[in-house]
Amino acid sequence: MPRAFASSVSLSENSLKSVPAQRPTREEALDAVRTLLRWAGDDPTREGLLGTPDRVVRSYEEFFSGYGEDPVALLQRTFEETDGYDEIVALRDIRFESHCEHHIAPIIGKVHVAYLPKKRVVGISKLARLVEVYAKRLQIQEKMTAQIANTLDEVLQPKGVAVVIEAAHQCMTTRGVHKPGVTMVTSRMLGAFRDDPLSRREVLAMIGTPGGAKLDNV
């Protein structure tokens, strides 16, 4: 292949990747649900299912509302008046509901977030909202763990960030291998929590032993 032609193909592929998918209309979404109801073997025109497409579409608007929020902008308002506080800030047991991108099945669990501030701190409700922004998208747990940690590190620029997620995945409890009671644990450590064993042990002691607590009502 001539070099010039190969270069043009590469540019074309990159430009295609940068173009977001066009969002369908609400009516197209409703029709898609009706199609899935027929695929399941039922009649979307029967009385009990007439309102189901609208309810499903409204549910999707809630389940995936994170696509409409900017996680970086969420953390922009910070505070520097801490009277010299420079110890760990941790928020434990942030419950979340997400959906796996492979089967659109629920992922339900808890997130533990901690950071070691350098100059700035952020309101604790913003930590919970940051979790929600990423949870309300199609996800895999490993990626969600990294996204939360990386965003905190990028915006706050602290000395260290720690994120631990414990969750049950219904894509393996209600289908496939059918193994209920299984909890997946993921973690991401940055800065001091990655490089300093003492800081890592301290933050894990504050968060608690991952996997040690059961996830009730999952």
Residue 167 sits in the same domain as residue 104 = yes
* Of the residues 63, 87, 111, the one at which a domain ends: 63
Residue 195 sits in the same domain as residue 103 = yes
Q: What per-residue confidence (pLDDT) applies to 30?
A: 98
Residue 150 sits in the same domain as residue 201 = yes
Structural domain of 12:
3-63
Question: What is the per-residue pLDDT across 121-167, written as a single tens digit (0 to 9) for each?
Answer: 999 999 999 999 999 999 999 999 999 999 999 999 999 999 999 99
Residue 98 sits in the same domain as residue 57 = no
Residue 157 sits in the same domain as residue 178 = yes
Write down the residue that tokens 């393996």 correspond to: 172
Partners of 99 in the β-ladder: 106, 138
Residue 160 sits in the same domain as residue 137 = yes
**Average pLDDT score, the chain:** 88
Q: Has residue 85 been placed in a domain? A: yes
Q: Has residue 217 been placed in a domain? A: no
Residue 191 sits in the same domain as residue 115 = yes
pLDDT band at 187 (very low <50, low <70, confident <90, very high): very high
* Of the residues 45, 63, 81, the one at which a domain ends: 63
Residue 35 sits in the same domain as residue 95 = no
**How many structural domains is the chain composed of?**
2
For residue 101, is pLDDT > 70?
yes
Residue 11 sits in the same domain as residue 107 = no
- Transcribe the chain into DSSP letters: --HHHHHHHHHHHHHHHHSPPPPPPHHHHHHHHHHHHHHHT--TTSGGGTTHHHHHHHHHHHHTGGGGS-HHHHT--EE--STT--S-EEEEEEEEEEEETTT--EEEEEEEEEEE-SS-EE-HHHHHHHHHHHHTSEE-HHHHHHHHHHHHHHHH--SEEEEEEEEEEHHHHSSTT--TT--EEEEEEEEHHHH-HHHHHHHHHHH--TT-S--TT-
For residue 87, is pLDDT > 50?
yes
Q: Has residue 77 been placed in a domain? A: yes
Question: What is the per-residue pLDDT across 28-85, written as a single tens digit (0 to 9) for each?
Answer: 999 999 999 999 999 999 999 999 999 999 999 999 999 999 999 999 998 887 788 8
Q: Has residue 8 been placed in a domain? A: yes
Of 11-20, 63-72, 172-181, 182-191, the poorest mean pLDDT is in 11-20
Q: Has residue 31 been placed in a domain? A: yes
CATH number for the domain harbouring residue 26: 1.10.286.10
Q: What per-residue confidence (pLDDT) applies to 12?
A: 37
What are the catalytic residues? 100-103, 141, 169, 171
Of 158-162, 204-208, 210-214, the poorest mean pLDDT is in 210-214
Residue 90 sits in the same domain as residue 165 = yes
For residue 217, is pLDDT > 60?
no
Question: Is the four-CA dihedral 128, 74, 103, 105 of positive or negative sign?
Answer: positive
Q: Has residue 215 been placed in a domain? A: no
